[in-house]
Amino acid sequence: MADRIPEEKIDQIRQALDIVEVVSDYVGLKKQGRNYFGLCPFHGENTPSFSVSSDKQIFHCFGCGAGGNVFSFIMDIEGISFQEAVVKLAERANIELEINVTSNLGEKKASKEIQAAKDAHELLRKFYHHLLVNTKEGQHALEYLLERGFTKESIDKFQIGYSLNSWDFVVKFLAKRDFSPEWMEKAGLIIKREKDGTFFDRFRDRIMFPIFDRHGQTIAFSGRSLGADEPKYLNSPETAIFNKSKILYNFHLAKPIIKKLQHAVLFEGFADCIAADRAGVENGIATMGTSLTDEHIAILRQNVHSITICYDSDNAGIEAAFRAGNLLDDAGFQVKVAIMPDGFDPDEYIKTFGPEKFRKDVIDASYTWMGFKFLYFRRGKNLQNEGDRLSYIEQIIKEISKLTKAVEKDHYLRQLATEFSLSLDSLKQQEKQIYFTEKRKEKSKATKNRKPLYIQNQVSELKPAYYTAERRLIAHMLKNRDTAYKIQELLQGNTFNIDEHQAIITYLLGYYEDHLEPNVSAFLSYLQDDNLRKMVATIEMMPINDELNEQELHDYIKQVLNHKKLLKIKEKELELKEAERTDFKKAISILEEIKQLRNSL
């Protein structure tokens, strides 16, 4: 059984960490006023509505309602328990917990099989690298890499290795260390023979490129043949620990540079990524033989605002760049595209022309996303042909109409007018026609697909006076302990009308029994209910006066109590209708009660 983590330790961890720094590891933040804003990692959005307060040490999303302190953020973003979040943040803060926290981390803890897969990959990554750089068996592979432009620094940085030309070395190597062959087969490291059920190595006589997850753990390999053996690259299959749609190669190494520059360069494969790194492009990342996915975009939007796509120059590469660019543009990134000369991929270009030319003539000379569209849509068209030319112009005007900045629209329309000797006014007129036509289509589509729930949500934002009054009272109670007790006294034993609001102040008054000073971040850890945590974070972000004057206080209390009286009046009015039919004396008595209740409002 795991020991309970003392509240003093939790407070110590919370005070040692700045929530802004923790959240910045997952979300790109920009300071606006006293708070920091970014795109919410918990729901898709193009306009930043995710706010982090360094003063209050809490976060809140005005879009989806997510909110809490540093512990709840880690719980939500990592999908882990409170205890696991405390352990993770204690390590970050270099605070020794000095208790047993590993024996009962619940269902989220990795199974023994998954842990064994991770351990085996880590062990083999070290062993393969050792074979390449330190043994005679790996000498020919090392020479092969050095001849092709790899440096020893690059080999060490990316932990490149070599797998022996053996059918069962890894099988025996892992078995001697008590790794289950059945588990290792599921991990993709060995293969089972159908004829007799024995196992053999998946990778033999290949240069081994380890694949790391975002935390730097080895989870897969890609083995390159040394000669003409096929396939040229043999990759690990997808496993419980390796999912290509969720992995960006080199992300764990590039992340600090990416966050510093707020810019990443996206390549198609890890070989290009490694070559670019040797050329000084250290913010490069790559997909693992798959198209860009929503999972990739979710990782990127937590860390960066601007991305340059650098794919191969062949038709497949151009099409892939266009698909990736559209996805990134829709997700709100600033997109550029680096165009490779015909017949070159980044690795070959760097080998042929050198690192400096790659940085200057390819990466630094990248096109804007709209500039790339000019090139993309003219492919396969004969612009000397009138039909092709008009089709191309119309397509480009349609793309220009999607731009949000007037200066950009004007710039590209002038470029189009100059290239084809057209009237700028006529192009602007056609752009406006296309823009409004597309807007009408979008509006019609949105109206058709709109769900009743959406309308209800919009209406529900107009809250009654007592609801707002209760929230403002809670906001002041969170800021001042004496105010909390004063409000409790003025309520004269009555409760708030909203059950969740009453639950919050009940917990808050309990919290104040043991804590003299208000601290909303600490109170969020005290709360056990996720919905109440989110509600408190929302209330804490409400703009209120620093001081609660007597008039304002009594107005709020009156709104709360009056609602109860109004409900009582409605109840009595129903009783009155019934009494008028059966008991005249009772009706007069009820009428008097109603009169007194109305006079007290």
Reported as a pLDDT band with limits 50, 70 and 90, residue 217 is: very high
Q: Give the closest residue to 278 by CA, choosing from 168, 384, 96, 148.
A: 148
pLDDT over threshold 70, residue 457: no
Backbone phi and psi for residue 243, each to the nearest 5 degrees, phi listed first: -130, 110
Question: What's 360's DSSP letter?
Answer: I
For residue 349, CA distances in Å to 150, 353, 356 come to 14, 6, 11
3-state percent breakdown (helix, strand, coil) of the chain, nearest 5: 55, 10, 35
In this prediction, residues 28-51 reach a mean pLDDT of: 85
Q: Please name the residue ranges forming H helices in 421-515.
A: 424-449, 452-460, 465-479, 481-490, 499-514
What distance lies between CA 494 and its chain's CA centroid?
43
For residues 105 and 339, what is the distance between their CA atoms, to the nearest angstrom?
Answer: 49
Residue 437 tokens read as 């036509």
Looking at 1.10.860.10, 3.30.465.10, 3.30.360.10, 3.40.1370.10, the CATH number of the domain 465-563 comes to 1.10.860.10
Domain limits, the chain: 7-93, 112-235, 251-378, 465-563, 564-600
Percent of the chain with pLDDT over 90: 57
pLDDT at 452: 43
Average pLDDT score over residue span 287-305: 86
- Sequence-ordered list of residues with C-beta below 8 angstroms from that of 175, at least 6 positions apart, any chain: 181
**For strand 284-287 and strand 199-201, is the pairing parallel, antiparallel, or unpaired?**
unpaired
Q: What is the model's pLDDT at position 599?
A: 67
Measured CA to CA in angstroms, residue 15 lies from 69, 141, 392, 560 at distances of 11, 51, 60, 36
Of the candidate CATH numbers 3.90.580.10, 3.30.70.20, 3.10.180.10, 3.40.710.10, the domain formed by 7-93 belongs to 3.90.580.10
Q: What is the predicted pLDDT for the residue at 462?
A: 66
**Residue 103 reports pLDDT greater than 60:** no
Q: How far apart are CA 326 and CA 347, in angstroms?
A: 25
DSSP code at position 5: P
pLDDT at res. 456: 36
How far is Cα of residue 117 from the mean position of the Cα atoms in its chain?
A: 26
CATH class of the region 112-235: alpha beta
What integer is the mean pLDDT of 496-500?
Answer: 89
Q: Do residues 57 and 69 touch, judged by C-beta distance below 8 A?
A: yes
Indicate if the pLDDT at residue 579 is higher than 80: no
Entry field: residues in the chain: 601
Q: Considering only 88-102, 104-118, 418-432, 523-537, which range has the smallest mean pLDDT? A: 104-118
Q: What is the CATH number of domain 251-378?
A: 3.40.1360.10
Q: Which of 253, 259, 303 is nearest to 282 (CA)?
A: 253
Average the pLDDT over 573-582 and give the result: 71
**233-235 and 199-201 beta bridge pairing:** unpaired
Residue 252 to residue 278: CA distance in whole angstroms:
17
When the pLDDT of each residue in the chain is averaged and rounded to a whole number, the result is: 88
Tell whether the model's pLDDT for residue 159 goes beyond 90.
yes
- Report whether 288 contacts 254 (CB < 8 A): no
- Among 60, 81, 56, 61, which Cα is nearest to 71's? 81
User: What is the structure's pLDDT at 516?
Assistant: 86
Tens of pLDDT, residues 335-377 = 999 999 887 889 889 999 999 999 999 999 999 999 999 999 9
Q: Does 294 score more than 90 pLDDT?
A: no
Read off the tokens for 269.
Answer: 């494969």
The pLDDT of residue 100 is 58
Distance of alpha carbon 428 from alpha carbon 417, whole angstroms: 10
pLDDT for position 584: 67
Q: How far apart are CA 236 and CA 216, in angstroms?
A: 17
The answer to whether 236 touches 211, Cβ cutoff 8 Å, is yes
Closest CA to 201 of 217, 219, 181, 220: 181
pLDDT in tens, 528-552: 888 898 899 999 988 888 888 898 8
Question: Tokens for 553?
Answer: 């206080």
pLDDT digits (tens, 9 = 90+) for 468-484: 889 999 999 999 999 99
Cis peptide before 6 (omega within 30 of 0): no
Q: What pLDDT does 133 receive? A: 97
Q: Pick left, alpha or beta for residue 381 (phi over 0 → left; psi -120 to 50 → alpha; otherwise beta).
A: beta
- Closest by CA to 328, choosing from 300, 352, 351, 288, is 300
Alpha helices in 331-423 (DSSP H): 346-353, 355-358, 369-378, 386-400, 406-420
State pLDDT tens for residues 135-146: 999 999 999 999
User: Could you report the per-residue pLDDT of 188-204, keeping only the tens digit for each?
Assistant: 999 999 999 999 999 99
Write the DSSP string, 122-148: HHHHHHHHHHHHH-STTHHHHHHHHHT
How far is 111 from 239, CA to CA, in rounded Å? 14
Q: What is the mean pLDDT of residues 96-118?
A: 67
Average pLDDT on 76-89 reads 85
CA dist 480 and 487 (Å) reads 11
Q: At what angle do helices 386-400 and 369-378 cross, to 10 degrees?
A: 160
The arithmetic mean of pLDDT across residues 422-426, rounded, is 95
The secondary structure of residue 191, as a DSSP letter, is E
- Give the DSSP letter of residue 554: H
Q: Tell me: pLDDT of 429 over 50.
A: yes
